[in-house]
């Protein structure tokens, strides 16, 4: 006994795949959504010490994870953060 036709199964699979893809790539649609995505670590950070650099990195990491920043921007920040941490370690 055939319960579901092949076409219906393929259609259901397509809906599931597209839904999962959309859920993984959605971006914040509002200021509160953006705030939730990137957090509130950045205000007050000056980059003068490791703790400040941690705050900056936490903020950028949230933006990278949610797609607020491009992968190129995230890579650029990772490099700049490593350079800054090396400078701070020499102090």
What letter does residue 40 receive in the DSSP assignment?
S
3 HSE (CA, 13 A, CB side): 1
Which residues 6+ apart lie within 8 Å of 83 measured at CB? none
pLDDT tens across the length of the chain (91 residues): 455 555 566 565 555 555 555 555 555 567 787 777 777 778 888 778 999 899 899 889 988 888 888 999 999 999 999 999 999 999 8
Q: What pLDDT shows up at residue 21?
A: 53
Q: What pLDDT shows up at residue 6?
A: 58
What phi-psi label fits residue 69: left (phi over 0), alpha (psi between -120 and 50 degrees) or beta? beta
Q: What pLDDT shows up at residue 45?
A: 81
Quickly count: other Cβ atoms within 10 Å of residue 19's Cβ: 10
pTM here is 0.61
């Amino acid at each position: 006994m055939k319960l579901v036709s092949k076409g219906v199964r393929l259609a259901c699979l397509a809906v599931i795949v597209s839904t999962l893809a959309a859920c993984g790539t959605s971006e914040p649609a509002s200021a509160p959504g953006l705030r939730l995505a990137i957090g509130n670590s950045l205000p007050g950070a000056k980059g003068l010490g490791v703790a400040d650099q941690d705050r900056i990195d936490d903020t950028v990491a949230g933006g990278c994870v949610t797609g607020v920043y491009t992968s190129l921007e995230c890579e650029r920040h990772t490099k700049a953060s490593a350079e800054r941490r090396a400078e701070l370690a020499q102090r």
